[in-house]
Amino acid sequence: MLSVGVAVAAFTAATAGGLVRGMSGFGGSLVMMPLLSMIASPKYVVAPVLLLEAFAVVPVLRHFIGRAQWRVVTPICVAAFAALPFGAYALFNADPSLVRRAIGFIVLLFALALPSGVRYEGPPRLPMSVALGLLSGVLLGGTGIGGPPVILYLLSGSSPSAITRANLMITVMAISVAALALLWVRGVLRVDGPMPLWLLAPGYVLGLSAGMRLFALVDERRFRRATLGFMVAIAAVTLLA
């Protein structure tokens, strides 16, 4: 049974994640994973966070399927699928505090790399796609955060922003579903676990709806800078906790 304080903290974390996702189109898991992993063991947090992030994509998925560059997306996804079990092994066997600090480190690295302009230079190539897919799969299986390497990689291409966004959405959705299937096999994909979905979902939906409404009212660049600063603060707390 969750205490009132823990329940409020979890609900607030989910709302913050939904707000960031609704405003920026990404970053929900980067906010929720470090915050929720300080409340419960990461192995019980990954599944509900992935479910919430997948929920945000499903309604618009059909708009991206026809725009995605499958020759770019497919090798990344296949490599990620192959690497997921190795990350999951670490998630279930490593010390939870070590996994939590790994989550904080990934969030910190991404929050600093994104505005600095660090990117892979050149068109997507098969060896690099496979390597990034393997890295993404290990990170997703082990920490619930597998998107940053793929985001930085795909943003470096010369494709129009609509195609890049489609590539990102399809890739993240595909590897998230594969990770959920793996977690279901391991028996941690539950709606009533230590971090219950019925508690997180209302907060996430509330934040997502508010973020989508605020998108047209708030300066996007300022919001993204504030979000990245927020992520740095979250990561620092996670690393020091």
Per-residue pLDDT of 9-24, as tens digits, reads 999 999 999 998 887 7
Q: How far apart are CA 101 and CA 121, in angstroms?
A: 29
Q: Exposure pattern of 61-70 as b/e (b: 16+ CB <10 Å)? A: eeebeebbbe
pLDDT digits (tens, 9 = 90+) for 88-124: 999 999 999 999 999 999 999 888 887 776 666 666 7
Question: Positive or negative, the Cα torsion across 24, 238, 196, 202?
Answer: negative
Instruction: Domain count for the chain, please give it.
Output: 1
| Alpha-carbon torsion angle 30, 167, 52, 231, nearest 10 | 10
- Model's pTM, two decimal places? 0.85
- Reported as a single tens digit per residue, the pLDDT across 183-226 is 888 877 766 677 888 899 999 999 989 988 887 777 767 777 77
Long-range contacts: 163-166, Cβ < 8 Å, 24+? 163/67, 163/68, 163/69, 165/25, 165/64, 166/63, 166/64, 166/65, 166/67, 166/68, 166/69
Domain hosting 34: range is 4-240
Residue 181 CB partners (closer than 8 Å, separation 6+): none
